[in-house]
Amino acid sequence: MAFLHGLSKSHTDSGSGLKRRSLTPYILLAPGLIWLITFFIIPIFSLASTSTMVRPEGSQIGTYVQELRFANYIDAFLVSKEQYLRSFVYAGLATILALAIAYPLAYAIAFKSGKYRNILLVLVIAPFFTSFLLRTVAWTQILADSGPVVSAIKVIPFIDETFRINNTPAAVVIGLAYNFLPFMTLPLYASLERIDPRTLEASGDLYANGLTTFRKVTLPLSMPGLVAGTLLTFIPAAGDYVNAAILGNPNTKMIGNVIESRFFAVVDYPTAAALSFTLMATILILVTLYIRKSGTDELV
């Protein structure tokens, strides 16, 4: 009888222990889920609701009522289509420029840096120690008409004396590429660093030259980092408004500047919310197509 009682107690204890273990993952996930629901899901639904509101005739500025007016999306796009398209052009150019700089840099750190690898990685992320805003303002001095960059370019004989970079599309693209360069470099480095050097040596043993080795071995193996880096650069660049506001001019405004102005200056919340949703949807579609085209569907 005592044996049966002990067996029953043991079974109960093991059952309660199993139940506690089964609840552990949910308990650990709870803080993250609460944060996600509070600061992402709820704001998204609030933004969606705001995007279909209208301002009653004769009401004061900032007063809107829900009328499910989905035409707000069409109106918002038609009013800001120039800035909308410009944002993706600038983001695309900045991504290409960042990739052109980051890939050789990541390659050199992964394969050629030796004992200086950690120092170089710290230098890559060192700009993050300074405010995004201050870094962008610093570029206004670097690209100033009397600054080192423009002064060096004007030495070239056929460059006009009126040549300038500040307050031009080029300055905005340069600022975007610079500010998001670490987001391109680090994923590339992570992929390149995982490549076994013996794979590259085997390519050489098979009489492949350096260019063929890069094209057939290094580049395909680094594709996950390349895709991740381009996404981490393109997505925030498309919605950025700081670089266009500081380094650009009224003719280089991006969609982020329009959204910021609609929210805080014009107080046109429905249009700003509609533009925000349209931007998110467009980026999501482009990202999905890009990932599928690049053959890295597992990143989705």
CATH 3.40.50.1980 fits 71-299, yes or no: no
Instruction: Give bridge partners of residue 54 from the DSSP assignment.
Output: 65
pLDDT at 251: 92
What burial class does residue 108 get, using C-beta atoms within 10 Å of its C-beta: 0-12 exposed, 13-18 middle, 19+ buried?
middle
CA atoms within 13 A on the CB side of 210: 0
Element (H, E) at 54: strand 53-54
Which residues fall within 8 angstroms of residue 34, CB to CB, at 6 or more apart?
A: none
- Does residue 8 have a pLDDT over 70? no
**DSSP states along 93-122:** HHHHHHHHHHHHHHHHHHHT-GGGHHHHHH
Residue 298's pLDDT is: 52
pLDDT tens for 231-286 read 999 999 999 999 999 999 999 999 999 999 999 888 899 999 999 999 999 999 99
In angstroms, rounded to a whole number, what is the distance separating the alpha carbons of residues 294 and 222? 12
**What pLDDT does residue 42 have?**
94
In the chain, domain spans: 1-51, 71-299
pLDDT digits over 248-257, tens only? 999 999 999 9
pLDDT (tens digit, 9 = 90+) per residue, 52-104?
999 888 788 888 999 999 999 999 999 999 999 999 999 999 999 999 999 99
Between 170 and 157, whose confidence is greater? 170
Instruction: Indicate the DSSP class of residue 210.
Output: H
pLDDT surpassing 70 at residue 118: yes
Average pLDDT of the residues in 174-198: 93
pLDDT above 50 (res 7): no
Q: What is the pTM of this model?
A: 0.85
pLDDT digit string, tens, across residues 187-212: 999 999 998 888 888 887 777 787 88
